[in-house]
Amino acid sequence: MTDIDFPFQAIKGLTFDPKPQPLPANLRPGYRIALIMLVLKTNCRDNAASLLKLQFFNWLLKSSSLQKFVQAKLSSQDIFMLELIHLDPMVNLALRYAFADNLISITKNSRYKLTEKGERFANQILQAKEAILGKEMEILVRIGQQVSEVKLRHELV
């Protein structure tokens, strides 16, 4: 092994200039709001869901292996066993923004429900010719309303 001489003596100091970095799309509140609108419209009875169900679908859309697992279980069983559901604080933030923008309302039993404005927004997303959320939309439409609140709550007992 040979020693390589580096001219460290000539370096008086290092400076770093931080450059702004764009926020990835999946971390933007607008992306999460659009996903929540789609979930409420395509996967929830009466366009309303609990926080648990919204968190479940958010988690489901992040993992292709989980998508395959859930789809296989939905076609063969009434319930499915999940070890855990990852709770994402960005979903809660997106819900706050959606509520502030009157896209959703909160029902007496603490469920999130699409308002008329939210339903129009969800319909616009579903009818868009250039599907920005095409992959997510495909998964949500395929699953439909097969994941009920009862199935999710059964898992937590």
Q: Which tops the pLDDT comparison, 104 or 28?
A: 104
Confidence of residue 4 (pLDDT cuts 50, 70, 90): low
Tokens of 22: 């764009």
Round the average pLDDT of the chain to a whole number and report it: 84
Residue with structure tokens 């599907």? Answer: 131
Residue type, 103: L
CATH code of 25-156, in short, is: 1.10.10
Kindly report the pTM of this predicted structure: 0.79
**71-113 pLDDT, tens per residue?**
877 776 656 566 667 788 999 999 999 999 999 999 999 999 9
Question: How large is the average pLDDT for residues 25-51?
Answer: 91
End-to-end CA distance of the chain: 62
10: helix, strand or coil: helix
Residues 12 and 30: beta-carbon distance below 8 Å: no
User: By the 8 A CB rule, do 151 and 80 touch?
Assistant: yes
The CA distance from 6 to 11, in Å, is 10
For the chain, domain boundaries: 25-156
